[in-house]
Chains A and B, each alone.
Chain A
Amino acid sequence: MTASAATGGGEVMLKVDSISLSFGGVRAIQNVSFDIIKGEIRAIIGPNGAGKTSMLNVINGFYHPQEGSITFKGETRQDMRPYVAASQGIARTFQNVALFKGMSTLDNIMSGRVLKMNRSFFWHLLHYGPARDEEIEHRRFVEDIIDFLEIQHIRKTPVGQLPYGLQKRVELGRALAMQPDLLLLDEPMAGMNLEEKEDMSRFILDVNDQFGTTIALIEHDMGVVMDLSNRVVVLDYGAKIADGTPDEVKGNQDVIDAYLGVAH
């Protein structure tokens, strides 16, 4: 990837500014600001409970922060709504795979096309004419994603029966079906073996490369983070403790302390 993105030269896609979020007395995020540049892969790391997933939930509108603002594609909001986020081009995956378990792989990925389908109820009811053409068009798009992710063989399998690694891949497929501008990945490689991790890393790089999708990912595997990401933001106890290139972050004393602990 380009060095310009890494140094912050590109166009800012998303900016979170002084975000604070608390649940009752628990302060999940405290005054955190960072930005994501168009086209980059941005990693969010930190020990368990650092507020990483909360941050993704704020970006995609599940949580509404008490303070701060979110700027996406130049529009500043106090908080996001899931529907707005989805229709503006933010897609995401979840830490504990959130698929529609009773549906097939194909239907799961098709559900990512919901917002792209415009024909009225009436046509869909008849299952004829423009609605049928539209269905075929979306189906073609989804088949391309299935090919891309190499999951042709499980197209008709109910996802509840799939092994975990494949479920994660289907979830990525559903997010890709939304043709997102910004893709949020919450621990895309958690619980995977080495081979699966390598596959997933390759898919993430390809998505970024081929579709130009901007990606924000949370990941615990430091090797993966260092290899994939252009820039890394580090959270600890809800606060930002470092922000920079993988190399800068790796050498940061606060980060080392947060991960290894310090003697008091």
Chain B
Amino acid sequence: MEVLYNVLINPFVEMGSNPAFFIKVVWEGFVAGTLYALIALGFVLIFKASGVFNFAQGIMVVFAALTLVGFHALGIPAYVSLALAIGVMLVLAISVERLVLRPLVNQPDIILFMATIGLTYFLIGFGEFVFGGDPKVMISQELGLPRGIYRLDLPFGRVVIQKLDVAAAATAIILVAALAVFFSKTRIGRALRAVADDHQAALSVGISLNQIWVIVWFAAGIVALATGIMWSAKSDVSFALQIIALRALPVLILGGFTSVPGAIVGGLIIGVGEKVGELYWGSLVGGGIDSWLAFFIALVFLMFRPQGLFGEKIIERV
């Protein structure tokens, strides 16, 4: 009985008794969720265009952030460094297409997946060689990211919100919206879906696979840069950051590997779910559930809806 009470009733009583705290928890979850959504978006873009799970997405986040900080360390102004970092992501996209994807056209997906693992280790080594292995501080102030807090006085109490979190959420939302429009309203979007469905058929109508790949890898690079800035503004720029990419995996399973809206909704569900779950239910099993709750949710989803919330229904005709 007591267990049931602790699971089903007590958490809600707590939420009701301290609504300001509850709102703060949900907000934190929301912010984490938008960042998960950003990472997931990077995966979705590349998965849609090439049917490949890009293992290197996490290291791309680190690499992009390091590049930005690295340029600034040379004495280049922050916004110029940002532009240069975007340029580096373009060069990376073109190089990946030329050196990795093009020689592997028409190979099974698993081979491309292995290639992205190789790319991960290359970027780790190259990044450490160029920038060194020690953690760096994100140039958030120079980039004009707000610091400090907002105090919201609500009728039932005071909620404190970091300005940086607001900026992070806003950036994520703008970026996601821009990419969603780009890929659904332009002919590039149709070409992208075509490439995702069938490489050969896409080639036969004259879609240039190489061009599409460069575009999506570049888009994924920009997403990685934005993620890197926002995430490292909260801690610092280090190679450990690439692990957060793996935390976007449950988001992908939840939202569907091929869906942009899925990445967003999935990210928010996981982000809010983790925080709320940890704070209100975590103590029942000794805490620390935010590290595995997302994977548990994903597992349940896999059993009942393997294509995810928004994934394309898998149609197989025999």
Write the residues of chain A forming the contact surface with B, with a CB cutoff of 8 angstroms: 60, 62, 82-83, 86-87, 91-92, 94, 98-103, 107, 110-112, 114-115, 117, 121, 124-125, 127, 158, 160-161, 164, 174-175, 178
B: interface residue count bin = 20 to 34
Beta-carbon contact of A94 and B201 below 8 Å: yes
Beta-carbon contact of A100 and B198 below 8 Å: yes
> Distance in Å from the Cβ of A55 to the closest Cβ of chain B?
15
**7 pairs from A and B in contact (CB 8 Å cutoff):** A62-B203, A86-B206, A101-B198, A110-B190, A114-B187, A124-B187, A178-B205
Instruction: Please indicate the chain A residues that have their CB under 8 angstroms from the CB of B196 in the complex.
Output: 102
Tell me which of A62, A83, A158 contacts B315 (CB under 8 A): A158
Beta-carbon contact of B182 and A114 below 8 Å: no
Beta-carbon contact of A107 and B205 below 8 Å: no
Beta-carbon contact of B317 and A98 below 8 Å: no
Beta-carbon contact of B186 and A103 below 8 Å: no
Instruction: Please indicate the chain B residues that have their CB under 8 angstroms from the CB of A160 in the complex.
Output: 315, 317
Write the chain B residue with the least CB distance to A57.
B200
Beta-carbon contact of A178 and B206 below 8 Å: yes
Beta-carbon contact of B190 and A92 below 8 Å: no
Tell me which of A60, A101, A127 contacts B204 (CB under 8 A): A60
Closest 10 CB pairs of A and B: A86-B206, A98-B201, A100-B197, A160-B315, A82-B203, A124-B186, A115-B206, A102-B312, A98-B198, A111-B194
Beta-carbon contact of B181 and A125 below 8 Å: yes
Write the chain B residue with the least CB distance to A177.
B205
CA distance A100 to B186 in the complex (A): 17
B145 interface contact, C-beta 8 A = no
Instruction: Please indicate the chain A residues that have their CB under 8 angstroms from the CB of B204 in the complex.
Output: 60, 82, 86, 91-92, 94, 98, 175
Beta-carbon contact of B206 and A114 below 8 Å: yes
CA distance A60 to B202 in the complex (A): 13
Instruction: Please indicate the chain B residues that have their CB under 8 angstroms from the CB of A103 in the complex.
Output: 190, 193-194, 197
For window 173-209 of B, CB contacts with A under 8 Å fall at 181-182, 185-188, 190-191, 193-194, 196-198, 200-208
Beta-carbon contact of A161 and B205 below 8 Å: no
Write the residues of chain B forming the contact surface with A, with a CB cutoff of 8 angstroms: 181-182, 185-188, 190-191, 193-194, 196-198, 200-208, 312, 315, 317
Instruction: Please indicate the chain B residues that have their CB under 8 angstroms from the CB of A158 in the complex.
Output: 315
> Distance in Å from the Cβ of A86 to the closest Cβ of chain B?
3
Beta-carbon contact of A107 and B315 below 8 Å: no
Known pairs A102-B193, A160-B315; A83 contacts B203 (CB<8 A)? yes
Beta-carbon contact of B200 and A98 below 8 Å: yes
CA distance A112 to B201 in the complex (A): 10
> Distance in Å from the Cβ of B111 to the closest Cβ of chain A?
17
Instruction: Please indicate the chain A residues that have their CB under 8 angstroms from the CB of B190 in the complex.
Output: 103, 107, 110-111, 114
Instruction: Please indicate the chain B residues that have their CB under 8 angstroms from the CB of A99 in the complex.
Output: 197-198, 201
Instruction: Please indicate the chain A residues that have their CB under 8 angstroms from the CB of B203 in the complex.
Output: 62, 82-83, 86
Beta-carbon contact of B205 and A91 below 8 Å: yes
Write the chain A residue with the least CB distance to B178.
A125
Write the chain B residue with the least CB distance to A134.
B187
> Distance in Å from the Cβ of B185 to the closest Cβ of chain A?
5
Instruction: Please indicate the chain A residues that have their CB under 8 angstroms from the CB of B206 in the complex.
Output: 82-83, 86-87, 114-115, 178
Instruction: Please indicate the chain A residues that have their CB under 8 angstroms from the CB of B197 in the complex.
Output: 99-103
Give 8 new A-B contacts, CB below 8 A, not counting A99-B201, A127-B185. A86-B204, A91-B205, A100-B193, A103-B194, A107-B193, A114-B194, A115-B205, A164-B317
> Distance in Å from the Cβ of B22 to the closest Cβ of chain A?
40
> Distance in Å from the Cβ of B174 to the closest Cβ of chain A?
15
Instruction: Please indicate the chain B residues that have their CB under 8 angstroms from the CB of A107 in the complex.
Output: 190, 193
